[in-house]
């Protein structure tokens, strides 16, 4: 039976979001924040898939447990898919969320509304200590605002506008965001993967 799984991210916001979405699974989710000395994975992949897989595999091998890891990116059409895999460090190494948003808004300063389309994309990897790997993805489309709006969320949430709700991610409640976001879509697929593995009585 599935008993526990390591959540391979030290991002506090991602930890909270992922644990909330997976809370109905009858397994113990062990956050990476419980292991401050665990070395950070060098994210040198060319795609979200490669980075997510590397993080999950390294954690699974290190802890000898199953692990899940995500890699997410904001892909802006006008910028040919940037910042993409560099979303977290778009404004430079050790930059803040605010730094990234300021850089993005500056680059889109004179871009008209119809060309400010974008999507958030997430890839989540589920890895076993013996090398098995499963991938799930999710995507949501929107546009980029001309200024930050809202105080909730994290990352690019204050500038990512969801037309269906007439709000940015940072204006939506956690419940709504966690029902429609790119990460939520990917995690629903992860739930199915984990349940299928449990049904096959594979040990974690």
72-109 pLDDT per residue, tens: 999 999 999 999 999 999 999 889 999 999 999 999 99
Annotated binding site for substrate: 9-14, 72, 154-157, 177, 182-183
93 neighbors 25 (Cβ within 8 angstroms): no
Q: Which CATH class is domain 4-199?
A: alpha beta
Beta carbons within 8 Å of 135's beta carbon, 6+ residues apart: 49, 52, 53, 123, 124, 125, 126
Residues 6+ apart with CB under 8 A from 42: none
User: Which token pair is 23?
Assistant: 């809370």
Q: Domain extents for the chain? A: 4-199
Q: Which of 24, 37, 70, 71 is catalytic?
A: 71
CA distance 194 to 204: 10
71 is catalytic: yes
Report pTM.
0.88
Quote the crossing angle between the two packed helices 182-199 and 12-21, to the nearest 10°: 60
pLDDT tens digits, 21-67: 888 888 888 988 888 888 889 999 999 999 999 999 999 999 999 99
| pLDDT of 39 | 87
pLDDT tens string 118-169? 999 999 999 999 999 999 999 999 999 999 999 998 999 999 999 999 999 9
């Amino acid at each position: 039976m599935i008993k526990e799984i390591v959540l391979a991210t030290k991002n506090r916001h991602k930890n909270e979001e992922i644990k909330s979405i997976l809370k109905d699974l009858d397994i113990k989710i062990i956050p990476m924040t419980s292991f401050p000395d665990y070395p950070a994975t060098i994210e040198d992949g060319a795609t979200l898939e490669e980075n997510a897989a590397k993080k999950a595999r390294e954690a699974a091998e290190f802890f000898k447990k199953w692990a899940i890891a995500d890699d997410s990116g904001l892909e802006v059409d006008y910028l040919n898919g940037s910042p993409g895999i560099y979303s977290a460090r778009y404004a430079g190494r050790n930059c803040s969320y605010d730094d990234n948003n300021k850089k993005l808004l500056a680059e889109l300063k004179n871009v008209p509304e119809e060309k400010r389309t974008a999507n958030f994309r997430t890839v989540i990897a589920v890895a076993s200590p013996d090398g098995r790997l499963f991938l799930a993805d999710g995507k949501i489309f929107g546009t980029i605002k001309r200024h930050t709006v809202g105080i909730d969320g994290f990352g690019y949430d204050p500038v990512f506008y969801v037309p269906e709700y007439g709000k940015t991610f940072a204006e939506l409640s956690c419940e709504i965001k966690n029902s429609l976001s790119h990460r939520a879509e990917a995690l629903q697929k992860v739930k199915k993967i984990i349940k299928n593995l449990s049904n096959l009585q594979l040990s974690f």
